[in-house]
């Protein structure tokens, strides 16, 4: 899948069939009725094997399903939740060419025409767009209000005027598609507004805060998976009459990374616990996302070094973990955005 930059249909189908795309949804909608913490555990475990598959699961559970559950009308829930629990992937359309970290400076416009809105604009870096069946489109209904004009619209893939562009040829998580999406006079009924007019920015902030915990779990699982592949090799590889693992210099490096992995896990689990119990968690989510991305970067780099020449080849999965981890410092809020969020919360505490 990595080489072909394509998620296999059998993998997507299996995720749905095993209930991993609707972990927190109620059984009345076809979900498993489990917990947010369960999502984090599943994402961590999937990322140990393939972070791209983990991302698909993470985004479906922490963005698509939660958007419908938190902001959907009863009619929207009845229409879409059975679909997203069975076979329909959702895709969140926020970023644009001129609005990355400054997400709410977006230019996509939604103009009201009777009982409909007409959406025009373009989005970039849209995850899962290639396979998505429904899109959450952030568009401004009144630019004079700035970010307070931003509204979230539900747009089905087959809506006339919606075009998914050529997917990006990425460094890592290649099996997960990232595409531009354009909207040319896309006609959306008023009934497809998710939440309230002008409240889209609140939806985005709330969901991205919880989503950061999911990305932390992805980075944690990625790093642990890489570590788990590498350490047995260092115990088997013999140089100078003993295993590479038995050299004290190696042992100290390995012990340090293992300790950082455990610290990253505890940060992630703590943020998930706070979010699940309804307690303040924004600072802790940013800490978890920031730190796990840093630890994943260190771990994968060290694992290549510990593996030696073979770690630099595609015969082993180590180089893939190394490529996959880099996005962790970029999406769902860059590392600098996380640090700014942490500092802002500290300022309020003191």
List, as one string, the DSSP characters of 178-235. Answer: EEEEEEEEEEEEGGGEES-TT-HHHHHHHHHHHHHHHHHHHHHHHHHHHHHHHHHHHH
Q: Which long-range contacts (CB under 8 A, 24 or more apart) does 276-283 make?
A: 276/35, 276/36, 276/37, 281/209, 281/213, 282/209, 282/341, 282/345, 283/341, 283/342, 283/345, 283/346
For β-strands 150-156 and 116-127, DSSP reports them as unpaired
Residues identified as active-site:
332
CA angle 214, 154, 80 (to 5 degrees): 75
C-alpha closest to that of 127 among 164, 176, 67: 176
- In this prediction the pTM is 0.97
Task: Give me 233's structure tokens.
Answer: 């090799």
Q: Which helix (H) or strand (E) holds 126?
A: strand 116-127
> What is the DSSP secondary structure assignment for residue 103, as one 8-state letter?
G
155: β partners: 135
Rounded to 10 deg, the angle between the 200-236 and 51-59 helix axes is 160
CA angle 171, 282, 214 (to 5 degrees): 40
* pLDDT at res. 104: 87
C-beta atoms surrounding 182 within 10 Å: 16
Q: Is the distance from CB of 292 to CB of 263 less than 8 angstroms?
A: no
Q: What is the pLDDT along the chain (350 residues), one digit of tens a residue?
A: 999 999 999 999 999 999 999 999 999 999 999 999 999 999 999 999 999 999 999 999 999 999 999 999 999 999 999 999 999 999 999 999 999 888 889 999 999 999 999 999 999 999 999 999 999 999 999 999 999 999 999 999 999 999 999 999 999 999 999 999 999 999 999 999 999 999 999 999 999 999 999 999 999 999 999 999 999 999 999 999 999 999 999 999 999 999 999 999 999 999 999 999 999 999 999 999 999 999 999 999 999 999 999 999 999 999 999 999 999 999 999 999 999 999 999 999 99
Q: Is the distance from CB of 90 to CB of 58 less than 8 angstroms?
A: no
202 φ/ψ angles, rounded to the nearest 5 degrees: -70, -40
Q: Is the distance from CB of 111 to CB of 103 less than 8 angstroms?
A: no
């Amino acid at each position: 899948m990595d080489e072909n930059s394509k998620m296999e249909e059998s993998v997507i189908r299996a995720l749905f069939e095993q209930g991993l795309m609707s972990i927190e949804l109620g059984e009345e909608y076809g979900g498993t009725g489990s917990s947010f913490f369960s999502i984090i555990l599943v994402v961590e475990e999937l990322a140990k094997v393939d972070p791209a598959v983990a991302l698909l699961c993470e985004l479906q559970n922490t963005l698509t399903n939660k958007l419908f559950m938190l902001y959907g009308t009863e009619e929207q829930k009845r229409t879409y939740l059975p679909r997203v629990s069975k076979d329909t992937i959702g895709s969140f359309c926020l970023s644009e060419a001129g609005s990355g970290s400054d997400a709410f400076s977006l230019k996509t416009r939604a103009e009201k025409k009777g009982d409909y809105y007409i959406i025009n604009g373009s989005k970039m870096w849209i995850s899962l767009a290639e396979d998505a069946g429904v899109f959450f489109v952030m568009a401004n209904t009144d630019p004079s209000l700035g970010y307070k004009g931003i509204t979230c619209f539900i747009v089905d893939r087959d809506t006339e005027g919606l075009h998914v562009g050529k997917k990006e040829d990425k460094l890592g998580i290649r099996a997960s598609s990232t595409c531009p999406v354009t909207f040319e006079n896309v006609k959306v009924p008023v009934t497809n507004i998710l939440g309230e007019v002008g409240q889209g920015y609140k939806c985005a902030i709330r969901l991205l805060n919880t989503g950061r915990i999911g990305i932390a779990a992805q980075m944690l699982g990625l790093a642990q998976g890489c570590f788990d592949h590498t350490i047995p090799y260092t115990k088997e590889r013999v140089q100078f009459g003993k295993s590479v693992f038995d050299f004290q210099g190696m042992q100290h490096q390995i012990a340090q990374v293992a300790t950082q992995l455990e610290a990253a896990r505890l940060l992630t689990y703590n943020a998930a616990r706070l979010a699940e119990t309804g307690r303040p968690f924004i600072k802790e989510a940013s800490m978890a996302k920031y730190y796990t991305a840093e630890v994943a970067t260190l771990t994968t780099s060290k694992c290549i070094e510990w593996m030696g020449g073979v770690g630099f080849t595609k015969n082993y999965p180590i180089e893939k973990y190394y490529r996959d981890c880099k996005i962790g410092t970029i999406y769902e809020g860059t590392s600098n955005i996380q640090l700014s969020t942490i500092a802002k919360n500290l300022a309020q505490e003191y």
